[in-house]
Amino acid sequence: EAQVTQNPRYLITVTGKKLTVTCSQNMNHEYMSWYRQDPGLGLRQIYYSMNVEVTDKGDVPEGYKVSRKEKRNFPLILESPSPNQTSLYFCASSFLGQAGGEQFFGPGTRLTVL
């Protein structure tokens, strides 16, 4: 089954404790992206990647890191989480094309930072 998976789905942590949210897709998509979603603010892009070893900042990259060592995986790293990073996070992937492909979303990770 074609899908984007994220783990963990729910996470409660404390300020300053490093964490990683994994994202994996099995559709051979070149493009992968991380979003956070907060009430009233819609989906805001954190980082994206157009291919292996190619990553770029989105609209709200502060406090986050990513890596793209393999085509299928795109982990999101919070080196020192803070309460303002409490949010619902989505990973998404798509093919790259002239017009831009539709994005497929993972199930989401609900993160609470105390």
Instruction: State the residues that interact with other proteins by CB under 8 A.
Output: 33, 35, 40-43, 45, 48, 88, 90, 92, 94, 98-108, 110
In this structure, are strands 109-113 and 10-13 parallel, antiparallel, or unpaired? parallel
Cis peptide before 8 (omega within 30 of 0): yes
- Beta carbon of residue 2, minimum distance to other proteins (angstroms, whole number): 13
Nearer to other proteins, 17 or 57 (CB): 57
3-class SS string, 50-63:
EECCEEEECCCCCC
DSSP category for residue 16 = T
- Beta carbon of residue 5, minimum distance to other proteins (angstroms, whole number): 11
Nearer to other proteins, 80 or 92 (CB): 92
